[in-house]
Amino acid sequence: MGEDGRVSLWRAPRAVNAVDASVALPGSKSITNRALILAALADGPSTITGALRSRDTDLMIGALRAVGTAIVDRDGGTTLDVTPGTLRSGSVECGLAGTVMRFVPSLAALAVGDVHFDGDEQARVRPMGTVLDALRGLGADIDGDGLPFTVRGKGSVRGGSVTIDASGSSQFVSGLLLSGAAFDEGVVVHHDGKPVPSMPHIDMTVDMLRAAGVSVDTSEANTWRVAPGTIKAHDVTVEPDLSNATPFLAAAAVTGGTVSVPLWPATTTQAGDAIRGILERMGADVSLTDGALTVHGPERLAGIDVDLHDVGELAPTIAAVAAFAAGPSYLRGIAHLRGHETDRLAALATEINGLGGSVTETDDGLRIEPVPLHSGVWRSYADHRMATAGAIIGLVIDGVDVEDIGTTAKTLPGFESLWDRMLTGVRS
Ligand SMILES: O=C(O)C1=C[C@@H](OP(=O)(O)O)[C@@H](O)[C@H](O)C1
Ligand SMILES: C=C(OP(=O)(O)O)C(=O)O
């Protein structure tokens, strides 16, 4: 929104030449918010370095402070000293952050007193019932089935075994696992239903729990066993956010230019790492040298038939790139994106088609037929990744006005200036 209450429009800059830049990205949202939960439940103080500061991570910091965790920031906010406290009643504002609404309730059930949750209007339709029902099954007392709801914390949670259908979001599983070691009996989560999406995000949860000394057994498919025990305080350094890197790498792909992202981890559980293989399949030259990932865009991009079930976060970026390929693309396995910040399948189809495109929604994804696009308004639906997808399209098409570019602050405040710097060839 602009100051006058009207939705603001941002004229996406056209790339006059092929981009040639190096772009350093701030920390990962997913790692920062997991690190914060684990630090709040740990057996002593710890420090998170390289944390992302954005709407979603600030909401997580606010949530944990509200229930009794001391968090002090320094180094411009990216170093967080976290001291766990006795968890108590409070009010948690979730905004539109899936990680806050799905990860904090389990921790809140350990508090003494009521913890009230609410969020943005748009957040009230995001699927929540599975997490709340699972927690009830584990002994927690909760009023409500979606935002707003109240967790009536009793100071402890029995825990034990629970079966859920996590086909709607991997966050249902991660949310239970992250606090599970603090439950009296630990937690065993069984999934029963269509395949769980975004599995790398569950791997991230498991890896981070193990790094905190928690025993997690994943030997049985679709079952995660977290033993009860201490979550050890330890310092964490956050990797750059690779999903947020993807629009910048896409800029190289669609302009036939070159973009490097420094500090790309050699191994990672971040979904964004999959961009390497995807852009390569679309014809880009991709290399990881001396810790920097470099994408060099081809003369003509190839269409792609790709299953994004594991890495749905990348769908808006890939859809925007696919709109400029030489042939059609099929993005599959992403029905669950209908429950993301907005219905991303509908939003992508509507907005690309609004610029003259030819995108069809399928049961589980999108078919994108590249056709010439024209100028127009690109709506972002309060969705950071819709806004950045519009920016990618605006690199190639004259006169694309992205609505509410400020919504990128959900995970990447200052997106516009990073984008401008990329276009002026700044190497950071
Ligand atoms: O656990 C996480 O940090 C996330 C898990 C994924 O959610 P879904 O499983 O709902 O896709 C991902 O899309 C989201 O951006 C972040
Ligand atoms: C789906 C996303 O966010 P959330 O953590 O709110 O689910 C996302 O960042 O693409």
Per-residue pLDDT at 6 exceeds 90? no
Sheet holding 236-237, edge to edge: 70-74, 79-83, 46-49, 236-237
Q: Is 344 annotated as a binding residue?
A: yes
SS (H, E, C) 107-131: HHCCCEEEEEEECCHHHHHCCCHHH
174, pLDDT greater than 80: yes
Residue 411 confidence (pLDDT) above 80: yes
List residues with catalytic annotation: 313
Distance of alpha carbon 198 from alpha carbon 239, whole angstroms: 18
pLDDT of amino acid 7: 80
Cβ atoms 258, 294 nearer than 8 A? yes
| Ligand at shortest distance from the CA of 244 | 2
**What is the number of the ligand closest to the CA of 384?**
2
Residue 426 pLDDT = 74
Find out whether the beta carbon of 30 lies less than 6 Å from any atom of ligand 2.
Answer: no
Closest by alpha carbon to 261, among 290, 231, 297? 290
Q: Whose CA is nearest to atom 3 of ligand 2?
A: 98
DSSP state of 298: -
Q: Tokens in use for 27?
A: 């920390």
Angle between helices 55-66 and 29-40 (to 10 degrees): 10
Question: Hey, what's the torsion of the CAs at 242, 243, 248, 253, to 10 degrees?
Answer: 100
Residue bearing the CA closest to ligand 2, atom 4 = 98
Instruction: Round to whole Å and give the CA distance between 292 and 8.
Output: 35
The pLDDT tens digits of the residues spanning 199-221 come to 999 999 999 999 999 999 999 99
CB atoms within 10 A of CB 173: 27
User: If we measure between CA atoms, which residue out of 414, 341, 336 comes closest to residue 379?
Assistant: 341
| DSSP state for residue 324 in the 8-state scheme | T
Q: How many whole angstroms from 218 Cα to the centroid of ligand 1?
A: 19
Record the pTM: 0.98
Q: Residue 338: which of 353, 327, 349, 352 has the closest Cα?
A: 349
Looking at the CA of residue 340, tell me the nearest atom of ligand 1: 10
CA torsion angle 294 298 304 309 (round to 10): 10
- CA-nearest residue for atom 7, ligand 2, is 98
pLDDT score, position 427: 72
With CA atoms as reference, report the closest residue to 36 among 6, 14, 58, 55: 58
Mean pLDDT (the chain) is: 97
Query: Hey, is 62 helix, strand or coil?
Result: helix
Domains in the chain, please, with CATH? 9-25+240-423 (3.65.10.10), 29-227 (3.65.10.10)
- At residue 3, the pLDDT reads 56
29 known ligand binder: yes
Query: Rounded CA gap, 251 and 395, in Å?
Result: 7
Mean pLDDT of 303-308: 98
For residue 101, which atom of ligand 2 is closest to its CA? 6
**Residue 198 in marked binding region:** yes
Helix or strand run (H / E) with residue 99: helix 98-108
Give yes or no for a contact between 319 and 368, defined as CB atoms under 8 angstroms apart: yes
On whether 313 is known to bind a ligand per the annotation, the reply is yes
Beta-strand pair 112-118/305-307 = unpaired
Q: Give mean pLDDT, residues 81-95.
A: 98
pLDDT at position 91 is 98
* DSSP track, 256-274: T-EEEETT--SS---GGGG
Is the per-residue pLDDT at 71 higher than 70? yes
Query: Using CA atoms, how far apart are residues 296 and 2, in angstroms rounded to an integer?
Result: 36
- For the chain, give the percent of residues with pLDDT over 70: 98
pLDDT surpassing 80 at residue 5: no
Token pair of 71 as six digits: 């968090």
Output the DSSP codes for 167-225.
TT-THHHHHHHHHHTTSTT-EEEEE-SSPPS-HHHHHHHHHHHHHTT--EE--STTEEE
Confidence of residue 1 (pLDDT cuts 50, 70, 90): low
Say what the pLDDT of residue 99 is.
98
Tokens representing residue 157 in the block: 């949670």
